[in-house]
Structures are given as structure tokens and as C-alpha cells.
């Protein structure tokens, strides 16, 4: 099998050389197969992905019908299809990730499992190459009444693809999986399926065919990879066509309100956007279309100046999983989808390959260590879809989602991570990430082996031993991270360090300090290299306090902690009384970094002093030690309070609430989501009915039905008033004010209506109060009649 792998690698190398004669990125990444990790941070995570996550997701694909979809479409099984018409891609992304994993370490059993899956996929493909189980299942088995057409699918092929159907989205992930599988195994089984499907798209779309674009951009990236794997230019031309035909009369949601070359702001669904910008970079590089480049340069500036979370996350709002307005970066309701973080890495790598500027790798690194890595648990089998920057306990990692895109996306991304460490351009070799590894790189003048040794991100010292096959002259470019130069995001005013000065980073060769040129954020070292030459750079690992631009209202009076590339948070489990939201940092405190090998698989904690905010200008609470942990590691010890942006002014923090009848009650509801139930008595005051910065309970997508929420008190209370603050996200969302509501109190085993002495108010942006004759009871039930065409929701329910 190893011999086969070498043959495939040689074939791919010849293909790369052939394509390199045509337009391409001026800088090329060094493939992850040429980089072998030896470190204690990333290598264990890749091993967990191979031994835990991939088998786990394969099993979940079986349990949750992803494989059955193909069997049903192939008429080999009867049953009901899964929830979403893009569920086929979970299997494709699993195959892609497993293929990458095979290239790092061969596993015969996994290889056989992929063969079986590919046979199942092939059986579902229609004779002309069409492959989309949600349609094919109905075509093959017209009598199967359980598989009526999904709402997102039109009556004909491609009819709704510009918005929802995901036919082309599925194809894009198929192509990426097929290229990865061929590169890993040399087998063309999945590649042939992909070629047949891609050829169908070439026949169907284009100047002389259907003028339509994909609603969810990924097919462009897949077609580019197919072009690279086969050399067939029709695939590249089609990728460009899908971009050129987009807009101007479509929706902002999927970046179709303008032609792509006329777009200047990041807008709409964040994952779609990041994939599209990545595809534009690919096509710009491969076709020399500078209009694409101008557009994504401008959009990148918009993101990094106005719409980037300190964790590298993008997509601020769950309304459309989308970018918000400039500087609108809420923390509790931050969406920052894991898939969007992955897309942000893809995009920033392409921007670096186009421009050779370290600022793109700075954003990539920030995203990689924080907003992306937070998406998967340390155990490898629990996941986040959104990655909020604050929580009062309503967030919990999940074992699976009906929409499992983020789970399968992590599986395919992690094995490819070593491919972001190095890049090259003829005899220029770039060191972009600092991870212990051994790499072999073919430069124009000679082959070079690099041995990188470091304990990054916990320590800043990096040793790089250079082993050229022969003494040769070439240029090393060592990235000097922006955070060492007092720039959290290089060139942007979105974030700044509170009190740190820029450092001049010394570089040594064979123990002697050298002079170097700092160019585009890289220490440029041009010399004649011989075997055993050692580059040493030692980055200062100061604890840095990050402040946000004053226009970011959510972060006024707060700072975030960063050490090296790692952003920190405070989590309830580490604090006195498990409280976080009431904490105020003492900026004059000494901030200490302490490595804890037994905590969260080994982390560096930050300890400092602070206190808890008090109500009504009461005396400050006694000083206490506050512990911060890396953001990526939060919620691995259960749900609880968490905050990235720490108040350093007392008026900013939320004082601990005094217990009330409601807060001490047990909550149950016709909604079974425990985390949503906590929201109705968490005592966090909404700013308005649409406020999504704190937790809330909602009944979406239910409508025109009766729902209930119930308090079981810890003892009997005499009560005579209740107040409800309704959640209403109209016109953009699906929750409206209720049609009506009423209260029942518990008397023995019966629930009786209260005798209200005031009307049941129904109004937005305020507490809706009802008064009633006093009753002594151990329970109160809120009955809610949902409106005819919408759901409803509750921010807070108070009992007096």
C-alpha cells in the first residue's frame, strides 16, 4: 500500500508541475502530506480525529440516515429520508477527512469502509451523472409516499438551486471528497462518480445552457479541485461561470444582490460568503481576473476592520447565520458558526497565497487556535455549531445536530491542518505557523528538510533546523505575528492592546543574532544554507489586554485576554460561586500565566485579581482570584457561565441577582430544551423583545397551537402578580407576540385559572403584567396560544 501511495504522490506532483505552467497562485502551499507533526498540541488532536471523531461520525451517519439516503435513492431500501437535502454532504465530508487521515497513517479497515461507502454512493447516481438523493429517491420509487418532495426542492432539476435546494452544494462536496480519496488511495472509484457528475454540470450550465448560480457556494471550490486533479479546463470555466452569473438581482442572504466583482462588504450567510470569497480567490489566481482580486481585497478589509470577532469568528447573528452590521459584534448571541471559521481559514490562506502578506496568516492563526478549535470538544465527539463569546449556561456541546455540517466539516479540516504551516515560491520558503514537525520541501535549487521544534502556543521559542540536500542559496521568510508588533489584527483599528508595547523580535542563526529585513510581516533571511543551520526566534509571551473599537458597543468597558495566539475566557467552574457575569477585573492586578498539565489536556491558565460587582452602589465585594482558560477549551466540563470580554469597570458587570420566587423554582415546559428553560428565570433583563444577546425560550417552528411553561416552587407562596417579557423577532424571524395567554395555579392535583383583576397585556418591548386575586400555591403555569402564522417566545417570566 505504501508503494501505491508513493505512485499517487508522484502522479500528483507531475500534474502540479503541468498546471504550474498556467496561471496560478504566485505562492504555493506545502502539502500536508509533506509535513509530519511531532508536537504535543496539534498532533494529539489529529490522532483523536482519526481514532475517535472519524469512527464516531461514520457511526452517526449510519444511525441518522445519511447512508440510508443513498440506499433509498438506489432502490435498495425503503424508508424515510433525513431532514435536510444537503445531508448527503455529511458522507462526502467524512470521506474527505478519512482520506486525508489515510494519507497521514494508513488504516486498512478504514480504506475498506470507504470502498463500501463509495459503492453505495455510486449505486444512487442516475445514468446521466445526476446525484442528489432527495430527488432520485422519489424518481426511482414513485409509490414511496413517505418521500414527498422536500419544500426546498423544485419540481425540476436545478429549479430552486439559487436559493435552497443545495443540488450544486452537494456536488461541490462530492468533488472535494473525490479528489482527496484519489490522492490518498490512487483509486478512481469516487473520482469517476465525480467526473460523471461534473460533466453533467458542464453540459447543463454555461453561456449556452442554464444561467443559474448555486445558492450555497462550494461547487466553485470543488470544480477548481477537479480541474487540478484532471486538467480539464471546462471545470475551471464552469467555476468562473457560476461566479460571473451571480447577481445582481438576487438576495443579500446568499451574496447575489450584486455581481460578485461589484461587492465591497461582507454580507449575508457567513459560510456561503467565506466559501464564495475563497472561490473568487481560486478563480482570480487561475484566470488572472484582477476584478475578483479587487473585490475580495475590499471585502477582506471590511471584515477585519468591522466584522471580525477577537476569536477569529465571523457571522454575528443567528438571523440567517449571517454577518451583522458594521461593529455589531454581540457576545452572548454571537453565532460565529464553526463552518464559518473553517471558511475563514480557507479564505485567508488563499489571500496569503495571492499577496504574500503575513496579515492574512495572522487572521488565519487567530481563527485556528480560537474560533475554529472551539468547535470540537477535547474528547473529539462533542461539538459546537455556534461559538458564542459569553454564556449564562444555556450553551452545551452536542453529540449531533440534525444539521450536522459543522461536525463533518471539522472531520475533514483537522487532518489538513499541517498544510497551513509552510508555503513556497521557487526559492522562497515561508514559515507561517509554529508547530513542532518534520517537513520535506522541494525548492527550485534543492530539496530541504526542515525540523521545527517548539512548545508553541504555550512558549514562544521556536527552533528551525535547516537541512538542504546540498549547500544552496535560498530565502527563508519567518512570520513575525502581528500581536508581537502591538497589532491584534494587522492594519486594523477594530482591536488594540491596552498597555503593551511593540517588541522587536530578535532572530538568531546558529546562536548568533542577525540583522534581517521585515517585509510584509516576515523576517526575510537570504543566505547560503548548509546542513545543520539553525534558526531561533523567541516570541514574547506577554499577557495582553485587548480592547475593542469604541463603536463595538458590546465590549465597552471590557477587555479580552490574549497570550500568544490564544484568546482566553473566564468560565464559571473555575470561579468562586461559579459566577462570571458579576466579575470585575482589577487592571492593576498582577496577571500570572501558569502551565497546568493536568487541566483540560494541558493548558496555560492566567490568574489575576478582581471582585464581584454589587447592586445599588453597595460596598465592593472582597478581592478574589479570577482564573482564565483558553477560549477553545471552554464547556468541556459541563455548561455554566462564560465570558471572553471581562469588565474592568464596575458599572459594566451584571451584579449577582437576589433569589426570587421564580429563580428558585423548577421550570418545565412543552419545550424540552433544558438550556432554553433556564432562560425564563435567569433574571437577565432584555433591552427589547428582539434582544438575542441573552438566553430566551422559543417555540419555533410551531404555530397556531397551545404551549405551556410551568414553575414548581420550592415551597408554597402567596402570589398576586406575574410579568412576562415576550420574545419577538419579527419581521426577520419566526416569533411574534402570542395570540393570547393566561395563568393557572396549582391547587392539590388540579390546575385552576387565576381570577385576574387586570387584563392580560400583549405588547412588545416591555413586561406584560397581569394582577389577580391572591392565591397560595406551589406551582404556576403559563398557557400561551401561538399566533396563526408564527411561533412565540419568552425572555423572562416573573412572579410576585
At 163, phi and psi to the nearest 5?
A: -115, -60
Between strands 793-799 and 706-727, the pairing is: antiparallel
pLDDT given for residue 155 in this prediction: 83
CA 690, distance to chain mean position in Å, is 24
pLDDT in tens, 277-316: 999 999 999 999 999 999 999 999 999 999 999 999 999 9
Closest CA to 709 of 638, 793, 639: 793
Closest CA to 550 of 501, 588, 496, 500: 496
SS3 state of residue 412:
helix
Query: What is the side-by-side order of every strand in the sheet holding 533-538?
Result: 35-37, 437-442, 447-454, 461-468, 533-538, 507-509, 512-514
Listed in sequence order, the residues at least 6 apart from 378 whose beta carbon sits closer than 8 Å to its beta carbon are 48, 600, 601, 633, 636
Q: Compute the distance between CA of residue 635 and CA of residue 623 in angstroms, rounded to an integer.
A: 26
pLDDT given for residue 2 in this prediction: 37
Distances 49 to 104, 408, 569 between C-alpha atoms, Å:
12, 11, 25
Cell 480592547, residue? Answer: 547
Contact between 77 and 158 under an 8 Å Cβ cutoff? The reply is no
Cell 417566545, residue? Answer: 793
pLDDT given for residue 685 in this prediction: 86
Three-state SS across 157-192? CCCCCCCCCCHHHHHHHHHHHHHHHHHHHCCCHHHH
Sign of the torsion formed by the C-alpha atoms of 537, 541, 542 and 545: positive
Contact between 16 and 8 under an 8 Å Cβ cutoff? The reply is no
Q: Compute the distance between CA of residue 316 and CA of residue 327 in angstroms, rounded to an integer.
A: 10
**Which own/partner contact pairs does 556-560 have at CB distance under 8 Å and 24+ positions apart?**
556/652, 557/647, 557/648, 557/649, 557/651, 557/652, 558/645, 558/646, 558/647, 558/648, 558/652, 559/498, 559/585, 559/587, 559/645, 559/646, 559/648, 560/310, 560/644, 560/645, 560/646
DSSP H or E stretch at residue 546: strand 543-548
Q: Compute the distance between CA of residue 153 and CA of residue 148 in angstroms, rounded to an integer.
A: 10
Contact between 462 and 538 under an 8 Å Cβ cutoff? The reply is yes
SS3 state of residue 25:
coil
Contact between 783 and 708 under an 8 Å Cβ cutoff? The reply is yes
Q: Compute the distance between CA of residue 279 and CA of residue 244 in angstroms, rounded to an integer.
A: 12
Closest CA to 344 of 398, 282, 275, 397: 275
DSSP H or E stretch at residue 794: strand 793-799
Ranges of residues in the chain whose predicted pLDDT is under 70: 1-21, 139-149, 500, 617-620
Residues in the chain: 800
At 771, phi and psi to the nearest 5?
A: -110, 150
Burial of 189 (0-12, 13-18, 19+ CB in 10 A): middle
Q: Which domains does the chain have, with CATH numbers?
A: 423-538 (2.60.420), 557-647 (no CATH), 666-799 (2.60.120.260)
Contact between 260 and 246 under an 8 Å Cβ cutoff? The reply is yes
Sign of the torsion formed by the C-alpha atoms of 253, 259, 260 and 263: negative
Residue 48 neighbours by CB distance under 10 Å: 19
Q: Compute the distance between CA of residue 580 and CA of residue 606 in angstroms, rounded to an integer.
A: 15
Helices (H), 128-259: 133-140, 167-185, 189-204, 219-230, 233-244
Q: Compute the distance between CA of residue 511 and CA of residue 527 in angstroms, rounded to an integer.
A: 16
Burial of 39 (0-12, 13-18, 19+ CB in 10 A): middle
pLDDT given for residue 619 in this prediction: 62
pLDDT given for residue 21 in this prediction: 59
Amino acid at each position: 500500500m505504501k508503494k501505491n501511495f508513493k505512485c499517487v504522490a508522484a502522479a500528483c506532483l507531475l500534474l502540479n508541475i503541468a498546471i504550474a505552467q498556467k496561471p496560478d497562485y504566485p505562492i504555493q502551499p506545502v502539502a500536508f502530506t509533506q509535513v509530519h507533526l511531532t508536537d504535543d498540541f496539534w498532533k494529539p488532536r489529529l490522532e483523536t480525529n482519526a481514532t475517535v471523531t472519524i469512527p464516531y461520525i461514520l457511526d452517526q451517519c449510519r444511525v441518522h440516515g445519511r447512508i440510508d439516503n443513498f440506499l433509498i435513492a438506489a432502490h435498495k431500501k425503503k424508508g424515510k429520508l433525513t431532514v435536510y437535502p444537503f445531508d448527503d454532504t455529511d458522507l462526502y465530508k467524512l470521506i474527505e477527512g478519512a482520506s486525508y487521515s489515510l494519507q497521514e497513517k494508513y488504516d486498512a479497515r478504514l480504506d475498506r469502509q470507504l470502498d463500501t461507502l463509495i459503492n453505495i454512493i455510486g449505486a444512487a447516481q442516475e445514468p446521466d451523472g445526476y446525484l442528489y438523493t432527495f430527488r432520485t429517491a422519489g424518481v426511482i420509487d414513485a409509490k414511496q409516499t413517505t418521500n414527498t418532495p422536500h419544500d426546498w426542492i423544485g419540481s425540476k432539476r436545478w429549479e430552486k438551486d439559487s436559493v435552497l435546494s443545495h443540488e450544486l452544494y452537494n456536488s461541490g462536496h462530492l468533488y472535494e471528497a473525490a479528489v482527496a480519496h484519489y490522492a490518498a488511495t490512487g483509486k478512481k472509484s469516487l473520482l469517476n462518480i465525480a467526473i460523471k457528475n461534473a460533466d453533467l454540470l458542464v453540459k447543463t450550465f454555461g453561456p449556452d445552457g442554464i444561467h443559474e448560480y448555486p445558492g450555497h457556494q462550494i461547487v466553485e471550490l470543488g470544480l477548481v479541485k477537479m480541474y487540478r486533479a484532471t486538467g480539464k479546463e471546462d471545470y475551471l470555466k464552469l467555476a468562473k461561470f457560476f461566479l460571473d452569473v451571480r447577481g445582481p438581482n438576487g438576495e443579500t442572504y446568499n451574496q447575489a444582490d450584486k455581481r460578485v466583482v461589484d461587492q465591497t462588504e461582507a454580507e449575508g450567510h457567513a459560510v456561503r460568503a467565506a466559501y464564495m470569497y475563497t472561490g473568487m480567490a481560486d478563480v482570480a489566481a487561475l484566470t488572472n481576473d484582477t476584478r475578483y482580486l479587487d473585490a475580495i481585497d475590499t471585502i477582506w478589509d471590511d471584515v477585519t476592520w468591522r466584522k471580525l470577532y477577537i476569536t477569529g469568528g465571523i457571522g454575528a447573528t443567528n438571523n440567517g447565520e449571517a454577518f451583522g452590521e458594521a461593529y455589531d459584534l454581540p457576545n452572548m448571541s454571537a453565532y460565529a458558526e464553526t463552518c464559518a471559521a473553517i471558511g475563514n481559514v480557507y479564505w485567508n490562506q488563499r489571500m496569503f497565497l495571492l499577496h504574500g502578506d503575513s496579515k492574512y496568516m495572522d487572521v488565519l492563526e487567530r481563527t485556528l487556535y480560537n474560533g475554529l478549535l472551539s468547535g470540537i470538544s477535547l474528547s473529539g465527539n462533542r461539538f459546537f455549531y455556534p461559538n458564542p463569546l459569553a454564556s449564562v449556561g444555556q450553551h452545551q456541546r452536542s453529540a449531533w445536530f440534525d444539521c450536522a455540517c459543522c461536525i463533518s466539516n471539522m472531520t475533514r479540516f483537522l487532518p489538513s491542518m499541517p498544510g497551513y504551516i509552510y508555503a513556497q515560491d521557487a526559492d522562497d520558503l515561508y514559515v507561517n505557523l509554529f508547530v513542532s514537525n518534520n517537513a520535506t520541501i522541494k525548492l527550485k535549487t534543492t530539496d530541504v528538510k526542515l525540523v521545527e521544534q517548539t512548545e508553541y502556543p504555550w512558549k514562544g521559542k521556536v527552533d528551525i533546523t535547516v537541512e538542504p540536500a546540498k549547500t544552496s542559496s535560498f530565502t527563508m521568510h519567518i512570520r513575525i505575528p502581528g500581536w508581537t508588533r502591538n497589532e491584534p489584527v494587522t492594519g486594523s483599528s477594530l482591536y488594540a492592546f491596552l498597555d503593551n508595547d511593540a517588541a522587536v523580535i530578535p532572530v538568531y542563526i546558529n546562536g548568533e543574532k542577525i540583522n534581517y529585513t521585515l517585509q510584509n510581516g516576515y523576517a526575510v533571511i537570504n543566505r547560503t544554507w548548509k546542513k545543520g543551520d539553525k534558526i531561533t526566534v523567541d516570541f514574547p509571551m506577554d499577557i495582553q489586554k485587548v480592547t475593542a473599537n469604541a463603536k463595538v458597543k458590546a465590549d465597552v468597558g471590557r477587555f479580552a485576554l490574549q497570550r500568544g495566539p490564544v484568546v482566553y475566557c473566564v468560565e464559571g467552574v473555575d470561579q468562586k460561586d461559579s459566577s462570571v457575569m458579576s466579575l470585575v477585573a482589577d487592571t492593576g492586578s498582577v496577571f500570572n500565566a501558569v502551565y497546568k498539565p493536568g487541566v483540560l489536556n494541558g493548558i496555560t491558565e492566567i490568574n489575576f485579581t478582581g471582585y464581584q460587582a454589587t447592586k445599588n452602589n453597595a460596598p465592593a465585594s472582597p478581592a478574589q482570584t479570577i482564573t482564565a482558560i483558553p477560549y477553545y477549551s471552554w464547556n468541556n466540563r459541563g455548561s455554566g457561565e462564560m465570558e471572553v470580554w471581562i469588565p474592568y469597570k464596575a458599572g459594566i458587570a451584571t451584579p449577582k441577582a437576589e433569589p426570587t420566587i421564580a429563580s428558585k423554582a423548577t421550570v418545565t415546559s412543552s419545550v424540552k430544551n433544558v438550556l432554553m428553560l433556564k432562560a425564563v428565570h435567569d433574571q437577565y433583563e432584555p433591552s427589547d423583545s428582539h434582544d438575542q444577546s441573552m438566553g430566551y425560550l422559543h417555540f419555533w417552528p410551531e404555530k397556531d397551537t397551545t404551549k405551556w411553561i410551568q414553575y414548581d416552587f420550592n415551597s408554597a407562596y402567596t402570589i398576586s402578580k406575574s410579568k412576562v417579557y415576550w420574545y419577538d423577532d419579527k419581521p426577520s424571524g419566526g416569533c411574534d407576540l402570542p395570540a393570547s395567554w393566561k395563568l393557572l395555579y396549582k391547587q392539590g392535583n388540579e390546575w385552576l385559572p387565576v381570577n385576574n383583576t387586570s387584563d392580560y397585556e400583549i405588547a412588545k418591548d416591555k413586561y406584560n403584567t397581569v394582577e389577580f386575586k391572591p392565591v397560595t400555591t406551589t406551582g404556576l403555569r403559563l398557557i400561551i396560544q401561538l399566533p396563526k402564522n408564527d411561533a412565540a417566545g419568552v425572555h423572562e417570566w416573573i412572579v410576585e
